Structures are given as structure tokens and as C-alpha cells.
Amino acid sequence: MARGSGSTVVGISAFYHDAAVAIVSGGIVRFAASEERFSRVKHHPDFPARALAAGLHHCGLSGDDVDAVVFYDKPLLTFERVLDTWLDHAPQGFGFFAASAPEWLGGKLLHKPRIRRALRAVDPALTAPLLFSDHHRSHAASAYFPSPFADAAVLTLDGVGEWATASIQHGRGDALIPLRELRFPHSLGLLYAAFTAHCGFRVNGGEYKLMGLAPYGTPRFADLILHEMMDLREDGSFQLDLSWFDWCRSAHRMTTDRFSRRVGPARAPGEPLRDHHRDLAASIQLVTEEIVLRMAREAHRLTGSSHLCLAGGVALNGVANGRVLREGPFQRLWIQPAAGDAGGALGAALIGAYHLGDPRTVCEPDAMETARLGPDLTTADATAVLDAHGVSYTVCEEPDLVAWAADRLASGRTLGWCQGRMEFGPRALGNRSILADPRDPAVRDRLNAQVKHRESFRPFAPVVPEELAADWFELDQPSPTMGLVVRARRPDRIPAAVHVDGTARVQTVSRDQHPRLHALLHACGERTGVPVLINTSFNVAGEPIVCTAADAWRCFAGTDLDDLVLDRCCVSQDPRS
């Protein structure tokens, strides 16, 4: 049994994409991390053995300390959907069934013994009861339970769980009350994914690229989507005309020939972007915002709550979230930073903890350390790696470290910044970040081309002290996990951190949450008059965000970054070994 008061519960997300682990003890979130950070395989789908081992080590636990393991969805219900979909679309859907059946019959239907074997491989003593949660309930729990609200509407939207593709629930105290559900094949997540694939980006990984492309286009296909591809109702529910889409019949494509004839040919990955691809991105983004806004209004009507919590992959669409904040009926939003399937592990663990009688913690800004829940990085870790590579470095105390970094940033240099515990979710929040001065638009182009090695249209996010955020952005609530895209008040002062449409996905930082980054922002403000920095994830295209000091050094050494701060170790570009 778990040491100390309360139970210890492990949540698991695996076998689809973005496998992850979360550990909750006594109702408190102790650890959460995605397997990709340890395997270095982006969107790692298999059992998160490395993340689980890291979590147990970080928490000082062994297998016999764990009281329950909770898996984030119910595979048998998902297989029921696969069978029903094939039967509904037989014989055309046989190809889809034939492609997916071996995977199901070869292992997915045997999740329980498969998970038990994987748990024991990490620790032979890890034999706690294995429970299963509904997919969208896991999402909803990850959104509501760590939020700072005792009462909230909870909206979850993704591709598909077992059957659900969207749900509205009411969080009250330590309970989640289901209210409404949209079911497969009618799915906003799959609809957005279809446009993502048609525009040549990877499904379950490239949707954020489509969102970044949208401001470059004109939404001339929006009426086609709204009036021919779907029947959208006032409450946000909808039915899709499946003659445009192929996810019920094919394992290899998401749209039909009818789709291509009307909107133009699909783009192969790596091909040049055409105007119709930009217009498709703008169109599906506008439709997505309209659907999310209508669903949010319906959630408010059903619950009467002044607060809204969001999760599911669609909740990573910060543009839609920003519109809900501006135009919706809610006073405050809280968005799960690991809103996709990885966050389901956290929701599953919290469901298990409260099922076992642990109390819920309600606190500001949230009950998950603003997503800093991964492994720690210490000065000893940093010096061991740098010494092993023969790197020249200086160990600085706090004031000198901040001054060293601020001087370099103010002079236009780019900085790898690796501190403390790794963030949970797809966004770096100041612990595994690349930082830069936002005043020169050439910095944006240099970061995209020479450091990140990614598409030129991709924007960068700004980070700003929480107490100064309203001076620089149209934002009246904290945004510590980059969940909201809002308009910049002075885009001419920070052109490298503002998108082409004058908006930005803002991160606010308080002194209590992140004192070193907060001090650095103020120090930069003293030097430049702009207390804002570009904050982008510490990685290159196609790779996960760095986890360890060794990962950070490899990434730094393989890019054109100018400087590096590993905990308190300061490294300049030259000399490198």
C-alpha cells in the first residue's frame, strides 16, 4: 500500500498515440510525463515503460506502494465501434476492417494481460488492481479536477474515444455529471484532421500547423463546409454528410473523391503550399471556432456555471479558445495543458484517486504545478553532461545568471533555457524552452530556418510577466500554459512574437510559479523596454522536446543556438566540442 496518507494511483495512456503516465498520491498530482520524452520517438504509442519508471523513481515509490492502476479508455467498447462501423458500411468498409482487425485480434483486445505484463516488467511488485475509465471521462477529469474551480462546465472535444467525439459534463465538488454527448462518426476532431491531411500535414501531430497556416488564407470554403458537408445546430451538435469523408470506409484516407473535386487536390507532404490550401485552413479554422463557441454556450446553458474547463485534442486550438473567452458567456476558462490523449492518463489517475476516497485539491492557479510535473534537472545533472563533453561553462548564482542571460537576449542572441521539472503537454512553458528577443522580425525567420528547421509560416509564442500581460495583450486572466490566442496591443514592438493577423498564443508567468523566468523577463525589460520574450519549445522539427541535460546539450550542439543555460550552468556558443 502507499506510504503516508491516502492512496497512490497510476494513470496510463497508451497504444494509440501520445502514451503517458501520471501518478497521484493522496489526491495530489505528483508526476506526469509522456513516453516520447524518454524514448525520443515523437507521439510514442506503446506502453510508457520509461515514463513509468521515471515517475516511480521521482516519487520515491516501488510497485507495492501503488494502490490502483487506471487505463484511460475502454478498448472493448472501441472494438465494438470498429465492428459496428464496418457492418454499417459493408461491403465498402471491409478494407478498413481488414486493415485494423489484425491489430485488434493480435493484442488490442487483450489489453488487460498486456498492461499487467508491462507493469510487472517495470517493477515485479506492481500488481495493483487494474481499472478502466471511459475516454471522454478521462479527458473531462483531466480538465476539471486540477482546475481552480469548485463548479465548472466541462467541454471535451477530440477525434473519437470509444464512441464519444464530444461531451458536456458538469463538475461539482469532486463529482463529474455527464450531460450531453456527440457520437462517432460525427466528430469535430476528425473533421479538422481531414483538412489537416488534405493540406499535407500529419494527422495527430500536424493540426497545429493548419491552425498556424489559417491566417494566411481566406475562409472561402466555410459556407461549403457549414451548408453542404454538415448540418450544424444552434447547440453546437452536428451531423456530417459522410459522402465527403472516408474515415468509416478506409484506413488510409480521410476524404473522398467528391471532397477533392470541390476543394482542389490534396497536397503531398513537402509539396509547395497553394492558395487553396491556405484557404482550406482558414475555412476549417473558422468553422471550428463557430462549433466550439456554440458548444460552450450550450454548456453554460446546461450548467449555469461561470467557469469552463476544456480538454481533448481540439482544446489545443488556442484560437478557438480565445474566441470563447472573448465572445462566450464564461468569466474564466481553464484549459488542460496536456489536452490530448497524454492528458487522459492524468484524468484516469485522478478518477481512481477520488474513487478510493482521496480529497480533491482546489487551488490557484491549478492543482498540477502549471504542468511542471516531469523529471527534475539539477546543477549536478548539468555539470556531469558538460564535463563529459569537455564543454567550458560558468556556474552562476541567481542574480548573475539572470543578468548573463538578459544581456545576451537583449543583444539579439538565441538561448536554450533548461530548468527544473519538465513540462507535461506539447508546449514548453519556461523549463525546456528556447528564448529570444521579440523586437526583430528577423529573429523569427532565423529561429524557424536555422534552429527549429520548420515551416516559415509557423508563429512563435510570447511569454510575459503576469502583472504586465494586460499592457501588452488583450488578456484579462492568467494564461500560464499557453492555452489562449489573443490580440497583441503593441504588435509593432514585438513583431517576432506576433502572428501575421496580430494575435499571439500568450504565456503569463507569475513570480511564485517561476521566479527565475519572471526575473529574466523583468531584466530584459530593463535593458530593452520590452518585458516580453519569444518562448518556443527546446527541440527541432520532428523531435520531442528535450527531457534531460544530455538531450539539451545534443539539441544545442546540433543547432545554431547561441547560448545555453542548464540549471545554473551558462554556456556560450564558442568554443563547442
**DSSP code of 445?**
H
pLDDT digits (tens, 9 = 90+) for 323-354: 999 999 999 999 999 999 999 999 999 999 99
Residues in CB range of 212: below 8 A, 6 or more apart: 455, 457, 458, 459, 499
Structure letter (DSSP) for residue 291: H
Q: What is the largest CA-CA distance in the chain?
A: 70
Query: Looking at residue 106, what is its pLDDT?
Result: 58
pLDDT in tens, 523-571: 999 999 999 999 999 999 889 999 999 999 999 999 999 999 999 999 9
CB 443 within 8 A of CB 561: no
Mean pLDDT, to the nearest integer, of 158-174? 93
Nearest-angstrom CA–CA distance, 144 and 165: 18
> Quick one: which of 329, 529, 362 has its CA closest to 437?
529
> Where do the DSSP E strands lie in 458-527?
461-465, 485-487, 503-505, 507-509
The residues carrying an active-site annotation are 17
CATH class, 188-335 region: alpha beta
**Domain 8-141+339-369 sits in which CATH superfamily?**
ATPase, nucleotide binding domain (3.30.420.40)
**Residues of the chain with pLDDT > 90: what percent?**
83
* pLDDT tens digits for range 270-325: 899 999 999 999 999 999 999 999 999 999 999 999 999 999 999 999 999 999 99
Cα(525)–Cα(68) distance, integer angstroms? 48
pLDDT, tens only, 57-90 = 999 999 999 999 999 998 766 656 665 655 555 5
Grid cell 451538435 is found at 237
Query: How far, in Å, CA of 224 to CA of 466, rounded?
Result: 41
Mean pLDDT to the nearest integer, 371-387: 97
Q: What is the DSSP string of 65-128?
A: G--EEEESS-HHHHHHHHHHHHHHTTTTTHHHHHHHHHHHHHTGGGHHHHHHHHHHHH-TT---
Whole-number Å distance between alpha carbons of 372 and 375: 9
Rounded to 5 degrees, what are φ and ψ at 440?
-110, 115
Report how far residue 68's alpha carbon sits from residue 129's, in angstroms, rounded to the nearest whole number.
5
Nearest to 338 by CA among 212, 233, 428: 428
Domain ranges of the chain: 8-141+339-369, 188-335, 379-572
Count of other CB atoms within 10 angstroms of residue 382: 28
Cα distance between the two ends of the chain: 48
User: What pLDDT is recorded for position 2?
Assistant: 39
Secondary structure letter of residue 571 according to DSSP: E
Mean pLDDT value across residues 134-162: 95
Q: What is the pLDDT of residue 107?
A: 59
Question: According to the model, what pLDDT value does residue 575 have?
Answer: 46
Cell numbers placing 504: 499571439
How many of the other CB atoms lie within 10 Å of CB of 241?
11
Q: Which residue has the higher pLDDT, 160 or 139?
A: 139
3-class secondary-structure state, position 343:
helix
| pLDDT score, position 179 | 98
User: With the C-alpha atoms ordered 42, 48, 50, 53, is the resulting torsion angle positive or negative?
Assistant: positive
DSSP state of 220: T
C-alpha Rg value of the chain to the nearest Å: 23
pLDDT at 101 over 90: no
Q: For residues 14 and 125, give the distance between their C-alpha atoms in angstroms, rounded to a whole number.
A: 21
Do residues 240 and 229 lie in contact, with contact meaning Cβ atoms separated by under 8 Å? yes
Confirm if 38 and 326 have CB atoms less than 8 A apart.
no
Question: In 334-397, where does DSSP find H-type helix?
Answer: 341-355, 379-388
Do 333 and 486 meet the contact criterion of CB atoms below 8 Å apart?
Answer: no
Task: Name the CATH topology of 379-572.
Answer: DHBP synthase (3.90.870)
> Does the pLDDT of residue 576 top 50, yes or no?
no
Q: How many CB atoms lie within 10 A of CB 12?
A: 26
Q: CA 566, 568, 34, 336: dihedral to nearest 10 degrees?
A: -120
Instruction: Give yes or no on whether 8-141+339-369 and 379-572 have one common fold.
Output: no
Given a cut of 60, whether residue 91 has pLDDT beyond it is no
